[in-house]
Structure 1
Amino acid sequence: MNQFIPLRRSLFTSTRLFDKIKTAKDRREHFLKVNSWKANQSEYEPVDEDRKPKKKVALLLGYNGSGYQGMQANPGTKSIEEELFNALVKVEAISKSNSIDPKKVQLMRAARTDKGVHASCNLISLKMICQDKDLVEKLNAQLPNCIRIWGYVETQRTFHAKTKCDSRIYEYLLPSYTLKRLVEKELKLEPGSERDYKILTENSTVTRYISPTDQSTLSNFRVDQERLEKFKGAMSLFQGTHNFHNYTVSRSFKDPASKRFIIDISVSDPMIIENTEWISVKLHGQSFMLHQIRKMISMAMLLVRTGTPLSLISKTFEADKINIPKAPALGLLLERPVFHLYNNRMASVENRDSIDFDVYKNQIETFKKEFIYNEIFEHEKKNREFDTFLAAIDSHIDSTYQYFNTEGVIPEQCILKTKYSVQNDLENEE
């Protein structure tokens, strides 16, 4: 029996201790004494700093996404947020105590960008120490040249970059030769040169090789008005509210989140950049799902290329699940998030600055030309990413893309059976 006495005493002592902790003030004092970071400071890097006031701000920035696994910080990957966080710590815009655990600093972004995707303008909200009048210059000195801070705006304490953003504008650049009429290429058993593309055919089980298109053929191509107008017509059909379940991943037709509202889409006239003709597409929507824009561009591009009627697009908004290829990420960039509702409220209710990227218009245009547009044009010229993408689609000999046809119908063999489509079938039977 004696062996249990110390335990009983321990329980008794603990009970007596918690009998004394009755008020919120007592609980707070006990926590600070026993469980807080200060009480366990020996477990962390020593910190000796004066507490400085922090303010909730909207940080305006732009970046070239090449070489990064996207904007969002993820352990073990190189991200834009990681670069930004490290720079904020170095210039003491984030305290040393908070720098120990990045989770304590909530970086909320207005728009997500995926691997390799650029942004001429994006926005992050956070609490930041911003007493230094040279803070922006010091931040840019710590960041690589492909990431630039335009400025920051003090906001309401409740400001959240994602929820206060009412829409986003993206741009997609594509060479006009992607609208050229499809010409089937010869599939080879062995590569003829080191530049040949390796293609997976017959349900991705057999390897074949295709020679790349001659560079002069790509550079000399100029789209005719008929093809350009068909491409513009295809893109215009995405405007409005539609069910885009086929334009993303892991979304069913029944999922309310599959419905998205596209405010406006505009297609530029062709422009010559370093002897190659390019087309710019601006897409303004409330929000976009993963891969949505790249699949929309691909659909419109391949409709023109294969001579498929535009009526196919409306069928893709219906319940049948099909596989739509993603156009290269290379051509996609975030133009800017839009905060009209927030700015209007700040102007009418509070005396606060609005979130206005146009204040930095000249800097943004210079950066976009040097670090985004030039990157896209040079990368395509060197690696022919769009030609590689088209070669893979043109030579896909199984049933996946046979819905690109002159009748504009979706054959039964193209309809996918996934857990989402099976769920839809069961619900329809009931």
Structure 2
Amino acid sequence: MLRKVLQRITQVIKSVKMTDISPSSAAVQQDDKGNKRPLVEELSDQHKKQKTESGEQPKKLQKRKIAMLIGYNGKGYHGIQINKEVNTIENEILQALVKTQCIPQEHADVPQKMSFQRACRTDKGVSAAQNLLSLKVIIDIENLLEKINSHLPEQIRVFGYRRTTGGFDCKNYCDNRTYMYICPTYAFAPLENIVTDEYRMTDDVVEHVNKMLARFVGTHRFHNYTSKIDAKEARAKRYIISFTCGKPFIRDGCEFCVITVRGQSFMLHHIRKMIGITIAIVRGNCGEDVIDKSWKPERVDIPKAPGQGLCLEQPHYDNYNKKYGTDGIHAPLDWVEEQDAITKFKEEYIYSDIMKTEKDEKIMMEWLGTLQHHAFDFVNDKDDRDSRFDKKRFLDKCKRDTDIVITPETGFNFKSKRSNFDNSENTKANEDNSDGHSESEVKIKSETIEDNSDKHLDSEVEMKSK
């Protein structure tokens, strides 16, 4: 009996609630198919404002995963990688994307939110003719490339972009990378020659250089060509696909050659050390056996060529292009349409700057004088000259041990207390004098030595013979 009373009361309450709802509200609650919809009163004020006159909401711009092709001259920048403490290439690009409204500021502050990645990391002062970034951005913007480049300095350019697969990562999908090193040919001049811009590289020297570069092709343990990596570590093993020296050419009275290396990946200072030991062998500072020693677990003293001539040419995506570039949905990452702009940028902002800087500042010429101070043999880990403290001590030692320096305008060669030869045609070696400085007065005027592996030691040494 009690149950029937409760059921009756419940039915009465339900009927009263139904009569309280207005006809207009009931109409809003149901559509033509009888499905329930939210009441108009429950819509927020913000939602009402977004509705247009036609009753439709504005279309939200979607972020798309893209591969963005960039090029830059690295002079004046502390590498490409994002660093809030110093000026870098990626800092400039991300702020340009914010100003173009491709990304919000919070994504520039935390790039991981947009799956940001770079194909190749370049160090301080190193340029790139082509490098790739992968990220999620809004691309439904008119004249997008022009707007991005308008917010970038002239030495940094965005050449183009391509829609990619959602899981594309420009670093992990990269098959291999090509670097170029623009080198003055007098770097390969024999030790008995006075080094000047007038030196011209013969076909025999080019052949000798290519023979030495070929020694690095294949899979090897390159622990002696980088810093703080042991021979037993897996990351010490790298694969070099090709390593060649092109025919020399003359620019503004100075002869240059382009050394091209293509490899799966490279470590810090890797390319510069391979080129450094090649120069030392061709010049006659050491023998070919140094390369054989460098494959052994022990630490070997390998010179590091100046970073001035190093340039990233391009990353390669052969497997990605083969798998996705022909599916009819995604374009291949070959950048054929952008080649004219890339070539023009390389010539105006990278190659010409490298060659002009070398001709004006003689960076390579001064570096050649330090080769005779290297051991080219097994050394203790404590003597690793890649550390900042040891590098400064090493440069100071070069200054102390060098007896003769002829200024670059007239060429130069060196007489060292450690060497058993004197390359100068006008000065005879004093074999009876172990002091080396007892019959000479040396005045050294040095500017501040910047602790930077990519910059040269700016010094002038004057000789006054008694």
Q: TM-score range by the shorter chain?
A: 0.7 to 0.9
1:130-279 to 2 correspondence within 5 Å?
130-182=139-191, 218-279=196-257
Contact 1:106-1:126 at 8 Å conserved across structures? yes
Matched, 1:402 2:390: no
- Residue in 1 aligned with 2:367? 389
SS in 2 for 1:358: coil
Whether 2:347 is the aligned partner of 1:369: answer yes
Task: Spell out the pairing of 1:302-341 with structure 2 (5 A cutoff).
Answer: 302-306=280-284, 308-341=286-319
SS at 1:151 equivalent: strand
Paired residue secondary structure (1:359):
coil
User: How many angstroms apart in 1 are the aligned matches of 2:105 and 2:291?
Assistant: 53
Contact 1:267 1:280 survives alignment (8 Å): yes
Per-residue deviation at 1:307? 5.5
Return closer, same or farther for 1:57/1:416 CA change in 2, 3 Å cut-off.
Answer: same
More RCO (CA 8 Å, sep 6+): 1
Structure 2 residue 128 is matched with structure 1 residue 119: yes
Per the alignment, in what secondary structure is the counterpart of residue 128 of structure 1? strand
2:101 aligned partner, one-letter code: E
**Counterpart amino acid of residue 149 in structure 2:** N
SS across alignment from 1:402: coil
1:291-306 correspondence runs (5 A)? 291-306=269-284
SS in 2 for 1:219: coil
SS in 2 for 1:237: helix
d(CA) in 1 for partners of 2:91 and 2:59? 25
Q: What are structure 2's unaligned runs of at least 5 residues? A: 1-57, 385-466
Amino acid at match of 2:132: L
**Equivalent residue number for residue 415 of structure 1:** 379
CA–CA distance in structure 2, aligned partners of residues 125 and 104 of structure 1 = 12
Q: Structure 1 residues 177, 419: closer, same or farther in 2, change over 3 A?
A: closer
**Secondary structure of 1:218's aligned partner:** coil
Q: CA deviation at 1:304?
A: 0.8
Q: Give the corresponding residue for 2:29.
A: none
Does 1:74 find its partner at 2:83? Answer: yes
- Residue by residue over 1:135-173, the C-alpha shift from the partner in whole angstroms, topping out at 9 and shown as x without a partner, is 111111110010011100011111111000010000011
Q: CA deviation at 1:132?
A: 1.1
After TM superposition, give the deviation of residue 52 of structure 1 in Å. 2.7
Contact 2:69–2:158 under 8 Å retained in 1: yes
Q: Give a deviation string over 1:353-399, Cα, whole Å, max 9, x none.
A: 011133211111110000001110111112111012112223x2xxx
Return the alpha-carbon distance in structure 2 between the equivalents of residues 318 and 97 of structure 1. Answer: 48
**Aligned equivalents of 1:99 and 1:385: distance in 2?**
37
Q: Could you tell me the percent identity over the aligned residues?
A: 36
In structure 1, distance between residues paired with 2:75 and 2:329: 39
Q: Does residue 282 in structure 1 map to residue 246 in structure 2?
A: no
CA contact (8 A) 2:285 2:371 kept: no
Please, what is the CA RMSD of the aligned residues? 2.1
For 2:170 and 2:325, locate their aligned partners in 1 and report how far apart those are by CA, in whole Å. Answer: 18
Is 2:112 the partner of 1:89? no
TM-superposed deviation, 1:351: 2.2
Cα distance, 1:105 vs structure 2 = 3.8
Task: Report Cα offsets for 1:21-66 as digits up to 9, x if no partner.
Answer: xxxxxxxxxxxxxxxxxxxxxxxxxxxx995310010000100000
CA contact 1:61–1:150 (8 Å) conserved in 2: yes
Aligned length: 327
Q: Which residue of 2 aligns with 1:54?
A: 63
Distance 1:162 1:255 in 2: 21
Indicate the SS of the match to 2:370. Answer: helix
Contact 1:172/1:333 (<8 A) preserved: yes
Q: Which moved more, 1:385-394 or 1:163-172?
A: 385-394
Cα distance in 2, alignment partners of residues 171 and 100 from structure 1? 33
Give the counterpart letter for 1:392 in structure 2. Answer: T
**SS, match of residue 336 in structure 2:** helix
- Structure 1 pair 104/229, CA: closer, same or farther in 2 (3 Å)? same
C-alpha distance 268-97 of structure 1, shift in aligned 2 (>3 A): closer
Larger radius of gyration: 2
Long gaps (5+) in structure 1: 1-48, 185-212, 404-409, 421-430
CA distance, structure 2, for counterparts of residue 145 and residue 358 of structure 1: 22
- Alignment partners' CA distance in 2, 1:361 and 1:348: 20
Native 8 Å contact 2:281 2:288 kept in 1: yes
